[in-house]
Structures are given as C-alpha cells and as structure tokens.
Amino acid sequence: MPSSSSMGGYLEAYLSGLPHAEQSYPDCCIKGSLVAISLRTRQLPSGAGVPDFLRRFERERWTSNEWVPIVQVNSWVAALLDHDFLGNEQAYLAWNYEINREFATSPMYRLFYKLAPPRILVRTLTLAFSQYFRGIVLDATISSGKADLVVTQPAKLYPELMQRGFAEAFRAALDSAGARGATAELVRRDERSHQVHCTWR
C-alpha cells in the first residue's frame, strides 16, 4: 500500500478500507468513455503528493472501449477530494452531475436522451448498465413518476460520498431526458449496496 505520507484523508480512508488497496477488485471495471470525460474536466494539481499509480492513471489515454478498474477511478476521485475539491463535498457532487450531463448530451447519446421519456430511460439504463460497468449490478423498480435504483457492489468499493455521486448521475440522466422536477436521493446504503430513490413529473 502507498505510504500514508503521499495520501490525503479521503484517499487514505478509501484504500485502507479495501482488502488489497489499489489492487482490489480488478474485475470491477468502468468503460473508458466515462473515464475520459472525467479526466477532461479535472486533473490533480501538479504539486499534489499522490501515489505514482494515480499519476499513471491520469497520463493514460483511455479509449472508449477500454475497461478501467473502478478502484483506480475511485482512488483518483478520492485524491481529487483531497487536493482539488479540498474537502468540498457539495462541489464534488455538483461536478458529478455536470459530467453526467455532458455524457448524456454527447453526440452519440443526445438523441436517445432527448426522445426517451423518463420511465423508458430508467428501464433502458438498467438494461444497458452492464455495457458500462463490470462487477457491479443495477436493479430498478419503476412505477409512475418514480423509481428505486439499487446498485450492488463488492464491500466498500463505493464509499457513501461516491454512492451519493451515483444519485447525482441518475438525476443528470433524468434531467437530460426532459424530466420536470427530477430528484434523486440516497435512501439506503451499506458496504455492499445502495438504493437511490428517484422522482419526476
């Protein structure tokens, strides 16, 4: 595990909670297209003291079809919380919303989000989740004007703040589909799953 002297509080807490630090859960991955958007909008400050694997992560040119280990991505996010957001969790959540809006309005997906009603969007996101994530599962219970989305994961892969980030991602998707008054709230969580309750008009 990297020396704690090269880590801030968020990163140290995240890696210390995993079974094998940054080597944990190598089969849990996220599609490179999502990672590339994040890296275009944020970078660790050049003078930040972070482990070498995070600098390598930032230098990598992740392609749309590559599978990127989620632990690496989450470690980078934790380092951003330490050195870029400086512990401002609301700013982090706002950024999470913004990058997911950017993804939804990209040329490849803009038409789908524009045409899909919120209920159809949620169902489609559930079906398409495995195209963007490996090693974690999304299930949804959908009814008129609301949905409960449950993400199941290995232990401590996503800490609470990043689970709240999922809620912002779901809200961004609903807003991109033209939902009125969309809300998304983390209503239940533990180390292996979390539930987001979404509403819209």
| In-domain check, residue 91 | no
Tens-place pLDDT, residues 110-152: 788 887 889 999 999 898 899 999 999 999 999 999 999 999 9
pLDDT of residue 5: 46
- Of 63, 83, 103, the residue at which a domain comes to its end is 83
Q: Which domain holds residue 77?
A: 4-83
User: Structure tokens of 159?
Assistant: 């800490």
Helices (H) and strands (E) in the chain, counts: 8, 7
- Looking at residue 8, its pLDDT comes to 82
Quote the CA–CA distance of 173 and 105 in Å, as a whole number.
Answer: 10
**143 assigned to some structural domain:** yes
User: How far is 131 from 178, CA to CA, in rounded Å?
Assistant: 23
Q: Who wins on pLDDT, 7 or 190? A: 190
- Single residue among 42, 68, 83 that ends a domain in this structure: 83
Query: Which pLDDT score, from 0 to 100, does residue 6 have?
Result: 56
Domain with residue 121: its CATH number is 3.30.70
Same-domain status, 69 and 139: no
Q: What is the mean pLDDT of residues 12-38?
A: 97
Where would I find the H helices in the chain?
Answer: 9-16, 32-41, 52-59, 70-83, 89-104, 110-115, 118-128, 160-176
- How many domains is the chain built from? 2
Same domain, 70 and 134: no
